[in-house]
């Protein structure tokens, strides 16, 4: 371990919510902590706020009263930047403006010792650029905490182009010594979480713009159908529409306006209207007193079919549907060869039920189809989305809906669009993750850790690539690419190579 010892002083510049949280983490870990803010009196106010949080930790039994008193003695506000001279680590949590951060670090370089580690908590700016004006850029590293820093375990440790390996290792080991779960990451736009998570928001917004379904239904399908803690619309309302859109624009511009990262016009209009989410009282949903959240579109009860016919094996996680159907008391007969090229269920009226493969149901040559959306765990899922081809009848619809209702699922019938909702979202996240791993942005293990801990995903995207199969993901995105203009859904070369290796 090369973690900084607790005898080392840690300085935090910037005393907003994030700065206070980082200071509290270092303080509870046993360090002397100095707080500095350019606004007069802010550092003292922040010290008082942190002391109040320490009191609450005592009340909850997290620390003892003597530990609180010792921590309070180690915390001090600084009236001048020069008071940080003895710091072994300085972490900035100031405005997300590159010139401001560069100016701060240039000033610190004249104050702190030559071996002092300089860390930026930036969430979207280039660590390389932040360190670019320093005489010794090798000691500058990214330490990206997630809010609230005392509670969330993940810390992204970002190495800029000039960051010394020893500096990155010290930052990593120090974060681990503070009880955090650090992951290493190269200096890439959005780092790990903000890069790989973009499709979770972007695909839902795109689906909304395509009139696939309303926000409440899109949220419900991703939350209840695939296990995400929150849907993208309620989550961006919580984050702040202005904040989420700013990160999206930052990553999009940093990738030279790659169409895969294109921002949403619908979100832009929301931001322009001042509807920034919970903090504004309204975003996609109304948060005013007494307001009711709109219910997701849910099909009325339909009778279950007495039997279905299985043609070949259903792909991937959908294979378990046969067990679920039989457990529900519905007879399953086999139709055709057991190892056909495309598995589907045939309903009594003749319509086919098939897991979406990126093509709309209506694009299939032989007519009466229902695509059902992807779930990572069909047994645990409580909601399934269905999309009908134009040729399907109301009787077909009732049979398809009734089948999934018999399995204990709520059913949302959505518009017939390529990739539906969950499948397109998960496929894009997997592609982004596989591409990042192939480019050396981070290891597959760190990618999965970052997405599970940073945004509470129900699994890691590299794990999903294994479970779903890269070939299935690649084929779905390739089909979507051929049904959509532009390059948004072009699968990465890394995903294609991985798919080829599965054969």
Task: State the residue for tokens 């990572």.
Answer: 376
Q: What is the radius of gyration, based on Cα positions, of the chain? A: 26
Pairing relation of β-strands 344-346 and 307-311?
antiparallel
- Whose structure tokens read 């996240």? 429
88: CB partners within 8 A, 6+ apart? 4, 8, 9, 10, 113, 115, 116, 117
Residue-wise DSSP of 265-332: HHHHHHHHTT--BGGGTBSSSB-STT--PPPPP-PPP-PPPSEEEEESPPPGGGGGHHHHHHHTT-EE
Tokens of 147: 């809010």
b/e 116-141 (16+ beta carbons within 10 angstroms → b): bbbbbbbbbbbbbebbbebeebebbb
Q: End-to-end CA distance of the chain, in Å? A: 42
Closest CA relative to residue 35, chosen from 93, 77, 80: 77
C-alpha span between 417 and 379 (Å, rounded) = 25
What CA–CA distance (Å, rounded) separates 173 from 167?
10
The DSSP element (H or E) to which 383 belongs, if any, is strand 383-388
DSSP per residue, 225-259 = HH--SS-HHHHHHHH-HHHHHHHHHHHHHHTTT-G
Cβ-based neighbours of 292, under 8 Å, separated by 6 or more? none
Helix 444-455 and helix 461-468: axis angle, to 10°?
Answer: 110
Tokens representing residue 40 in the block? 């007069």
How would you list the strands of the sheet with 410-414, edge to edge? 331-335, 307-311, 344-346, 352-355, 369-372, 383-388, 410-414
Active site residues: 123, 144, 156, 194
Quick one: tokens of 79?
A: 């009236």
Specify the 3-state DSSP secondary structure of 62.
coil
The answer to whether residues 353 and 370 touch, using CB atoms and an 8 Å cutoff, is yes
Could you tell me the two tokens for 416? 């017939």
- How many Cβ atoms sit within 10 Å of the Cβ of residue 221? 31
DSSP annotation string for 38-55: SSTTHHHHHHHHHHHHHH
List the beta bridge partners of residue 143. Answer: 157
């Amino acid at each position: 371990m090369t973690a900084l010892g607790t005898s080392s002083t840690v300085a935090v510049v910037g005393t907003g919510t994030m700065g206070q949280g980082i200071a509290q983490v270092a303080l509870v870990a046993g360090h002397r902590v100095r707080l500095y803010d350019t606004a007069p009196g802010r550092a003292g106010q922040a010290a008082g706020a942190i002391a109040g949080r320490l009191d609450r930790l005592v009340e909850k039994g997290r620390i003892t009263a003597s530990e609180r008193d010792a921590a309070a003695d180690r915390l001090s506000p600084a009236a001048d930047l020069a008071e940080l001279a003895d710091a072994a680590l300085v972490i900035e949590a100031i405005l997300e403006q590159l010139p401001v951060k560069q100016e701060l670090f240039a000033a610190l370089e004249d104050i702190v010792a030559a071996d002092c580690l300089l860390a930026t908590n930036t969430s979207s700016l280039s660590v390389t650029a932040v360190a670019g004006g320093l005489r010794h850029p090798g000691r500058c590293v990214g330490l990206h905490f997630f809010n609230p820093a005392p509670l969330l375990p993940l810390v992204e440790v970002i190495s800029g182009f000039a960051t010394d390996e020893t500096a990155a290792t010290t930052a990593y080991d120090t974060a681990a010594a503070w009880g955090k779960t650090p992951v290493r990451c190269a200096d890439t736009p959005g780092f790990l979480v903000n890069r790989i998570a973009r499709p979770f928001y972007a695909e839902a917004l795109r689906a909304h713009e395509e009139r696939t379904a309303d926000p409440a239904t899109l949220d419900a399908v991703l939350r209840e159908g695939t296990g995400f803690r929150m849907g993208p619309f309620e989550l961006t309302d919580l984050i702040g529409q202005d904040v989420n859109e700013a990160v999206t624009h930052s990553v999009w511009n940093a990738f030279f306006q790659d169409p895969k990262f294109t921002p949403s016009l619908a979100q832009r209009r929301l931001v322009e209207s001042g509807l920034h989410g919970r903090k504004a009282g309204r975003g996609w949903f109304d948060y005013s007193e007494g307001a009711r959240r709109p219910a997701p579109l849910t099909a009325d009860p339909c009778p279950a079919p007495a039997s279905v016919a299985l043609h070949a094996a259903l792909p991937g996680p959908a294979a378990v549907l046969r067990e679920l159907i039989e457990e529900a008391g519905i007879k399953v007969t086999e139709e055709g060869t057991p190892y056909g090229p495309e598995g589907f269920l045939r309903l009594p009226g003749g319509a086919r039920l098939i897991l979406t493969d990126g093509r709309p149901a209506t694009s299939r040559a032989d007519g009466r189809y229902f695509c059902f959306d992807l779930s990572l765990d069909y047994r645990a899922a409580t909601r399934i989305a269905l999309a009908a081809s134009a040729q399907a009848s109301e009787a077909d619809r009732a049979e398809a809906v009734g089948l999934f209702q018999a399995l204990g699922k709520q059913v949302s019938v959505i518009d017939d669009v390529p990739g539906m909702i969950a499948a397109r979202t998960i496929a894009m996240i997997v592609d982004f993750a596989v591409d990042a791993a192939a480019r050396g942005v981070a290891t597959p293990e760190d990618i999965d850790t970052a997405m599970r801990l940073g945004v509470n995903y129900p699994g890691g995207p590299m794990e999903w690539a294994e479970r779903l199969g890269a070939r299935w993901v690649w084929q779905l995105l390739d089909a979507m690419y051929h049904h959509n203009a532009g390059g948004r859904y072009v699968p990465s070369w890394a995903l294609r190579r991985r798919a080829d290796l599965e054969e």
